Amino acid sequence: MSYHTSIYGLDLVLNEQVPGIAVETFSGQRTDIQVTFGSMPEWFRPDQTVQEIWYVSPERQLEDVPRLVVWHFPLIEHYQVKYADGTEFLFDEKGAHIWATWPSETLTLEDTATYLLGPVMGFVLLLRGCTSLHASAVAIDNQAVALVGPAGAGKSTTAAALADLGYRILAEDVVTLSDFGDRFLVHPAYPCIRLWPSSVKALYGDDAELPKLTPTWDKCYLDLTQNKYQFEQGALPLSAIYLLEDRSDEASAPSVCTLSPNHALISLVTNTYAKFLMNKEMRGREFELLGRVLRSIPVRRLIPHSDPSQIHALCKTIISDFADLKQDHALHV
């Protein structure tokens, strides 16, 4: 049995149903990427072809094993990704086929899907010429607003709070930028938001519980197909970017302000997805695209309050500021 889904503007065909992704039985739709779980291709013999180390993670796991190692096989035009927990991915340079395996005695399909939907797809999107931001995206007035920042900045928590206020969520963790010259579209990802238990507690109270993302991990997920939540299923034009800065105890927080063009560019470059896997050509392409983003999209500095109970005040700050940006734009066109 094969299954079809659309994420990040691409049509995927999978041999397994992936938790958190809406799928339908494959019936001959267009295919951009074929995903095969549970096996590697029979022809793949890594010890019998030329290989080069593409990337080694500086982080180490038990027994000083790198958290992540990526190999490039130039003669067969493929990349191999190995995680310290035993999960492996193989994909071709065109980003058209992905294979995945994992140690079944310790990990699950859900664990592997977590890697696939984040860093692996981030790299595959790069290979297909698409720059992505490490961000969440929400639909406000039928336009995409990106919340950008490093891990732990509060992107997912803020997106969940906006979902709680009735706003449609477009993407979480990976925000693709489809390039149309002077405008950029953000494609929908998958209908869930991943949250740590501390975020669940801050958003919904001490007694709230959400299902675990995987049986082996504490992270939970908010299902955007359930209850009052809404998932945006169409691509929307990117109209504003908010860079989440360090939290503050100041009475002025949450607050928003402008950024210098240089600071904005550095911040965006720092928060592109899978940046450590880029080669010189990819980096140059990304730098040129982000320069055009800054010429057409307002980038704002967003300072959350340190108090988690101020999360909805942060949302209102974003909504109010975006309304001002839209009004200002209308006055100048």
Residues of the chain above pLDDT 70, percent:
97
pLDDT tens per residue across span 211-253: 888 888 888 889 998 888 999 999 999 999 999 998 999 989 9
pLDDT-derived band at 26, boundaries 50, 70, 90: low
Checking if the pLDDT of 332 tops 60, the result is: no
For residues 70-84, average pLDDT: 95
Checking if the pLDDT of 311 tops 50, the result is: yes
Query: CATH 3.40.50: which residues of the chain?
Result: 131-331
Task: Look at the pTM and tell me if it is higher than 0.75.
Answer: yes
**Any residues with CB less than 8 A from the CB of 76 and at least 6 apart, and which?**
44, 49
* pLDDT at 331 (0 to 100): 40
Fold adopted by 131-331: Rossmann fold (3.40.50)
* pLDDT at 329 (0 to 100): 64
